[in-house]
Amino acid sequence: MVVTGMGVVTPIGTTVADFWASCRAGRSGVGPLGGFPLEDLKILIAAQIKDFDHKARLKHFRRDKIIIHADRYSWFAAAAADEAIKQAGLEAPFQNPYRTACIIGSGAGGLVTFESAYRDLFILNKRATHPLTLLRIIGSSAAAHVGIEYGVKGPTFATCSACSTAAHAIGLGRDYIRAGLIDLAIVGASESVINYGTMKAWQAMHVLSPQGCFPFAKKRNGTVLGEGAGVLVLESEEHAKARGAKVLAELCGFGMTSDSKDMVNPDIDGPSEAMRLALADARVATTDIDYINAHGTATTINDRNETNAIKKVFGAHAGQLAISSTKSMHGHPLGAGGAIEAIASLKAMEENWVPPTIGLDEPDPECDLDYVPNMGREKRVTYAMSNSFAFGGLNAVLVFGPPPA
């Protein structure tokens, strides 16, 4: 199973080139919250996408007649998918539509639409909502929009597993190709949940930082909500070669587990077993992994537990790994995180340069691995791992390797 295309929309860049340039510059997308009434909110920062013109970005869409009127999360998914499909050199409609899948997940779906509809009904006392409200809020709408535009007639649906949503979508697409059900899969996730109601809900859990996202740092005091999308094009190696596609990397390992312990507090055994399963699936040794894109949310328990899980799996080699949390730059985009971070891992492999964990001035003594503090560095990356560990103890891990010889 190989990767032939990738696309992103993030707070630090709305194309892969711009996103990666920001990673190389150590640029933060976290800033003052805005775009809606802040009222009595106490957390006033987020990693919002503020330079995205969906009409300009999606104006060339022809088959999907209503994408311009969709929810914001569907816009992000459509733009990321478009970039990935163009890089893969594919044209719509696809030649073998029933041998193609579109699995684009979302942890929350159209929450921006939910809030605006409820404000209309309950605060502004309007008698009806927008006629497309129902279609906008559905968690599978992004997958459906992309499937319509590109003529996908194979498995088309959304995954939903909180912060592991994208990684599960990528793993499922890989499994469908492996099983011979399809030849090609458009996979990833999209999220846009930053509004008053969502901020209030996250505030109530006391897991948001009022200052910034500082994974593995002693000063860390919570995560920062982000938004965006990431999409990959996966193909069987045979299919990619037959059409002369450029192969970016191999998706060689996937592992998934559940802690089955607690909705909020992460475990060590679940994440470590997911990493072990991904390595076994990839048929690579722990010493073959050069870089890990950590889940790294900047919450006290998560960062400590992820550190211990990595040590449990990698043993002495844990100290030789380059590890970073790019959430320090693009915030926590919830369900979309696994795809955005997979793309960061792929770029690290392509350029043999690992992105930093910014804001890591003084590490937590209990987070004592090499988290590439503040500045990225040159490093040969042959195999990379991307971790996604979600609320509910839902774990998914991806391992990428070089293009097959």
Active-site residues, by number, are: 163, 295, 332
Q: How many residues does the chain have?
A: 405
Contacts of 111 (CB under 8 A, 6+ apart): 73, 137, 192, 193, 195, 197, 198
End-to-end distance of the chain based on CA atoms, in angstroms? 13
C-alpha dihedral, 356 to 360 to 365 to 367, nearest 10°: -40
Enumerate the H helices of 216-374 as residue ranges.
237-242, 269-282, 300-314, 327-330, 337-351
Whether the CB-CB separation of 156 and 101 falls below 8 Å is answered with: yes
Nearest C-alpha neighbor of 3 from the set 400, 339, 275, 405: 400
**Pairing label, strands 156-157, 100-105:** parallel
Neighbours of 128 (CB within 10 A): 9
Q: In sequence order, which residues have a C-beta less than 8 Å from that of residue 119 and are 6 or more positions away?
A: none
Decide: 13 and 50 in contact? Cβ < 8 Å. no
Query: Residue 56 is which amino acid?
Result: A
Cβ atoms 332, 108 nearer than 8 A: no
Question: Distance (Å, rounded) from C-alpha 313 to C-alpha 386?
Answer: 14
Judged by DSSP in three states, 96 sits in coil
**278: number of Cβ within 10 Å:** 27
Work out the widest C-alpha separation in the chain, in whole angstroms: 64
For the CA atoms of 238, 240, 244, 249, the dihedral, rounded to the nearest 10 degrees, stands at: -110
* Residue 117 neighbours by CB under 8 Å, 6+ apart: 129, 130, 133, 137
